[in-house]
Amino acid sequence: MSATSFTELGLSPELLRAVSEAGYTQPTPIQAQAIPTILDGKDVMGGAQTGTGKTAGFALPILHRLQPQANTSPSPARHPVRALILAPTRELAIQVEESVKEYGKYTGLRSTCVYGGVDIRQQLPIVRAGVEILVATPGRLLDHVEQKSVNLSQVEIFVLDEADRMLDMGFIPDIKRIMALLPATARRQNLLFSATFSNEIKKLADALLNKPELIEVARRNTAAETVEQAVYKVPQDAKRALLTEIVTSRGLRQVLCFVRTKHGASRLARQLERDGLATAAIHGDKTQNARLDALQAFKDAKLEVLVATDVAARGLDVDDLPLVVNYELPHVPEDYIHRIGRTGRAGASGEAISFVAPEEEKYLVEIEKLLKKKIEVRTKEGFDPVAATARAATVRSTERTTRRDDARAPRERTATRPPRHDAPHSDAGRAPVGRSRREQEREEAYARNPDQPLPDRGRGTPPANGGATRGHASLGVRRGKPREVPALLMKRKAPETQGA
Ligand code: AMP
């Protein structure tokens, strides 16, 4: 029998107070199952995706279990890392840690979050001061271990969040290295969450979990059922006008708009700004700060539209998103489910619309096959796709003329051009004094795809000094070699094209 209130779950008064302030009245199904199991000290293999309330499902019982160890001592030794939570992307890591902070605000426990793509030195003082709960992306955590700013020998609870994405993104070797630094499996509690359970995830679970309880809630496809979905059949060139029309006529804010490529994201954001919509773009070529600023503006409802690629939007969690727009259909049907899962979270109803150009019909067929249903086709009253396409052609030709004029005056342009918003990670070439080559290489890798670990080749080689983790010596070997295709992109049926 599952609990119908948080009080029945046996959580401490401090946690119940924070939960009530968060506005939660009832545990979600994953919380009702996971919280008592984790409070019992059992290992858990959780089948749940973001949007189900799984973060509170593991964060609340972790906080409850660690609460007796909270103390106000200034000594770092009194604040060892007792719970380690690994997440695949910086956005998810940040959101998980924000939740831990929110739920744990009356417990006196300390937490922080470490992720790559930013200068590690900003993170050092906080982790060195000691935190009981550490949320991390795997690569950056290993950087901290290497710098001896983090010690994992006292971890009591280990959480692997979104294990399937970890696998997709090539993080498994890093995770195995991290597991080797933890106390023995039997001496810690292990929680693994994944939306899917491939054989590889099961193998990982076998190595990690000790007689786990299997807890499964709503499969991916059921999330799609709470979302109202519709398709607009519209030529590619008329999409921008249709989007502007829908957003302005309904006075919407916080519209999350998906495109397939980084280049396409930047271009569309610029165009929508020109149409008068407050817009930002997030994608892997944006600097970490630009991404965080855009996310914050979006969360604060300062933006009408946030244009995102699939990778950049992973884990994005904003309550009550009114509308998700698939400006271009994904080529992998499962990505459609991920995308529309950004609206209608935790049981709320949401709306997702897709703009389908004639050349994208084949992707729509695949998506409908996965959903096992047809998506309703809508038309926008008063919207003339032929006129919109003609207008787009005129605008394009004006833009071409402007670009030609720009090209004729390169000197003025260099002198006056503002910094490009979508320029690749500008920190990559700037090695601050004292930064290790290892760190510089890592940042270069992040600049290419911020959530992607370095290719495994050469990293497992033990350092000459026999240290516990990866050494610098092996990294030099990779210099000058052709760049490997990130695992995540290899999964895609078609590579990202710049012109899309
Ligand atoms: P998650 O699946 O952890 O990403 O959570 C998805 C969203 O659901 C977050 O915005 C949470 O704040 C919200 N949430 C979590 N638990 C509850 C609950 N019991 N009642 C209402 N909302 C919740």
pLDDT tens figures, 62-76:
999 999 999 999 999
Q: How far is the CA of 102 from the centre of ligand 1 (A)?
A: 12
Residues 185 and 287 reside in one and the same domain: no
Residue 51 Cβ contacting ligand 1 at under 6 Å:
yes
Distance between CA atoms of 188 and 468, rounded to whole angstroms?
20
Residues 242 and 370 reside in one and the same domain: yes
Would you say residue 472 has pLDDT above 80?
no
List the domain range (segments joined by +) for residue 307. 227-381
The verdict on residue 92 lying in a domain is yes
Here the CATH number for the domain that contains residue 372 is: 3.40.50.300
What is the reported pLDDT for 329? Answer: 95
Sheet holding 279-282, edge to edge: 279-282, 305-308, 255-258, 323-326, 350-356, 227-233, 376-378
Residue nearest to atom 18 of ligand 1 (CA): 24
Residue where a domain stops, chosen among 381, 405, 429: 381
Residues 257 and 362 reside in one and the same domain: yes
Residue 104 Cβ contacting ligand 1 at under 6 Å:
no
Residue 53 Cβ contacting ligand 1 at under 6 Å:
yes
DSSP symbols for 273-338: HHTT--EEEE-TTS-HHHHHHHHHHHHTT--SEEEE-HHHHTT---TT--EEEESS--SSHHHHHH
Token pair, residue 71, equals: 């103390």
Average pLDDT, the chain: 78
Would you say residue 49 has pLDDT above 50?
yes
What is the reported pLDDT for 198? Answer: 74
What is the reported pLDDT for 441? Answer: 47
Phi–psi pair at 159, nearest 5 degrees: -120, 130
Would you say residue 494 has pLDDT above 80?
no
Residues 63 and 199 reside in one and the same domain: yes
Residue 49 Cβ contacting ligand 1 at under 6 Å:
no
How many domains in the chain? 2
Distance between CA atoms of 400 and 413, rounded to whole angstroms?
16
What is the reported pLDDT for 396? Answer: 62
Residues 240 and 175 reside in one and the same domain: no
What is the reported pLDDT for 448? Answer: 41
Distance between CA atoms of 211 and 222, rounded to whole angstroms?
28
Residues 31 and 97 reside in one and the same domain: yes
Q: How far is the CA of 393 from the centre of ligand 1 (A)?
A: 44
CA dist 320 → 102, 181, 239, 344 (Å):
18, 40, 24, 7
Q: How far is the CA of 188 from the centre of ligand 1 (A)?
A: 26
Residues 208 and 305 reside in one and the same domain: no
What is the reported pLDDT for 282? Answer: 86
Ligand 1 atom at minimal distance to the Cα of residue 27: 19
Residue 54 Cβ contacting ligand 1 at under 6 Å:
yes
Residues 71 and 126 reside in one and the same domain: yes
Higher pLDDT, 489 or 319: 319
Beta bridge partners of 160: 86, 192
What is the reported pLDDT for 431? Answer: 34
Q: How far is the CA of 334 from the centre of ligand 1 (A)?
A: 22
Ligand 1 atom at minimal distance to the Cα of residue 49: 2
Residues 242 and 317 reside in one and the same domain: yes
Residue 229 Cβ contacting ligand 1 at under 6 Å:
no
Ligand 1 atom at minimal distance to the Cα of residue 26: 19
Residue 110 Cβ contacting ligand 1 at under 6 Å:
no
% of the chain exceeding 90 in pLDDT: 48
Residues 235 and 352 reside in one and the same domain: yes
Residues 240 and 369 reside in one and the same domain: yes
Distance between CA atoms of 124 and 24, rounded to whole angstroms?
34
What is the reported pLDDT for 384? Answer: 80
Residues 233 and 139 reside in one and the same domain: no
Residue 3 Cβ contacting ligand 1 at under 6 Å:
no
Residue 52 Cβ contacting ligand 1 at under 6 Å:
yes
**Ligand 1 pocket test target in 215, 317, 320, 343 with most atoms within 8 Å of CB:** 317
% of the chain exceeding 70 in pLDDT: 73
Residue 123 Cβ contacting ligand 1 at under 6 Å:
no
Residue where a domain stops, chosen among 346, 363, 381: 381
| Stated pTM of the model | 0.57
Ligand 1 atom at minimal distance to the Cα of residue 95: 4
**pLDDT category of residue 185 using cuts at 50, 70 and 90:** confident
Token pair, residue 210, equals: 């000790």
